Amino acid sequence: MLDSIWVFTSLLIFPLYYYYLRILTTDTAIQYKWFWLALPSFLLAIYSAVIYLLMTPAEVESFIQGIMYQKSGYEPYSRLVRLQILREYLFKILFSVQVILSVYFGFRLINKYNKKVKTFYSNLGGKDLTPLKWAVVALLLASLVSVVANSIGNSYFIARPQLIYISFAIYSVCIFFSAYVSYMQRFTIEHFSQNVKEYESSKVFTGKKTVAHYYIPGMDNQKSLRDRLIYLLEKIEIFKNPELKISDVSLLLKTNRTYVSKVVNEELNTNFCDLVNSYRVNYAEELLCSPEQASSLSIAEIAEMSGFSSESSFYRVFKNKKGISPGIYKQHRCNVLAVNG
């Protein structure tokens, strides 16, 4: 009975985690049509349980000792024992297929979600789901430990019980890490959809005409949308707002969010998040290399003045753009520029 339950629960791990990723990245509510993901594990568990019920005590003993513990002297195996052996092969095949498909499509969901978030927010702190990729990797490692342990065989660990504790410890740490990363994820598709819905229902637009009126000194509304967007970034320095969203920019430009996104993606060949962060990094670079500012400002203050929501976010984005951390950049690159100047 426990063996059949183990079959059911083990085959549910990756399908359930895949659907968990759907809840975070795609579905704002549980959709019961996805319950079919549990069907393969349920059917194989039923198959295992029925065979066990049909087996005699001698056949059960033969299967446990001869197959599970790899002891000799129990051959030849009866038809029911062979059917239970078939179940073990089916389990391995099904588990492997589930791992491959769940990881592949799970990563696709995460990448698609991250791309969507980057088109709306300039600050991704806590909003993107990249850490969940590490959670999936942890599950893969836990599964690898389980596969290796099963390949070695139960009889090996019975003779060396201390080794099973090591595999249990590794497995438990991987599962805990995966759960912890998932627990710490505070922002999901539900929050993103809510923000978009609030923007679209704010009654800023009536048909094709805006009822919001903003006066921005020096911005010529006759210029192209691209030029006006660049003006907001370079002259008004809207990137200094750490919570800047593309919906805020569309209001300032008196246009629709979709049009702004199209300009950013097609004309500037980037996404909204990377565009704004490039201006933030350039501004931070000026502060880091300014003799007047650099000596009196800390890294945290430069990060805040440049529009970053946190010092850690500043470090991550700056290093991604420049290849080195802000501190090292200040010590070496700026000194070189000062000497050459």
Give the model confidence (pLDDT) of 217-248 as tens digits.
667 666 889 999 999 999 999 999 999 999 99
Enter the tokens of residue 280: 């933030």
Tokens 């097609």 label which residue? 266
pLDDT digits (tens, 9 = 90+) for 285-324: 988 888 777 677 888 999 999 999 999 999 999 999 988 8
- Cα(190)–Cα(30) distance, integer angstroms: 12
Inter-CA distances, 304 with 62, 166, 181, 243, 281, Å: 70, 46, 27, 12, 12
Q: How far is CA 275 from the centre of its chain?
A: 22
Give residue 209's pLDDT.
36
Spell out the residues 6+ positions from residue 261 whose beta carbon is closer than 8 angstroms to its own. Answer: 119, 246, 272
Spell out the residues 6+ positions from residue 180 whose beta carbon is closer than 8 angstroms to its own. Answer: none
Give residue 255's pLDDT.
87
Enter the tokens of residue 148: 């290796």
- Cα(308)–Cα(306) distance, integer angstroms: 6
Give residue 218's pLDDT.
67
Which of 151, 128, 178, 156 lies closest to 17 in space, CA to CA?
178
Which of 299, 298, 271 lies closest to 124 in space, CA to CA?
271
The list of the chain residues with pLDDT below 50 reads 203-213
- Cα(314)–Cα(326) distance, integer angstroms: 8
pLDDT digits (tens, 9 = 90+) for 39-56: 999 999 999 999 999 999
Tokens 């809207």 label which residue? 238
Inter-CA distances, 90 with 41, 51, 271, Å: 11, 14, 45
Give residue 211's pLDDT.
35
Give residue 337's pLDDT.
53
At 69, give phi and psi (nearest 5°): -105, 0
DSSP string, 141-199: HHHHHHHHHHHH-HHHHHH-HHHHHHHHHHHHHHHHHHHHHHHH----HHHHHHHHHHH
pTM of the entire structure? 0.83
17 C-beta neighbours (distance < 10 Å), count: 20
Give residue 129's pLDDT.
92
Spell out the residues 6+ positions from residue 283 whose beta carbon is closer than 8 angstroms to its own. Answer: 237, 239, 240, 305, 306, 307
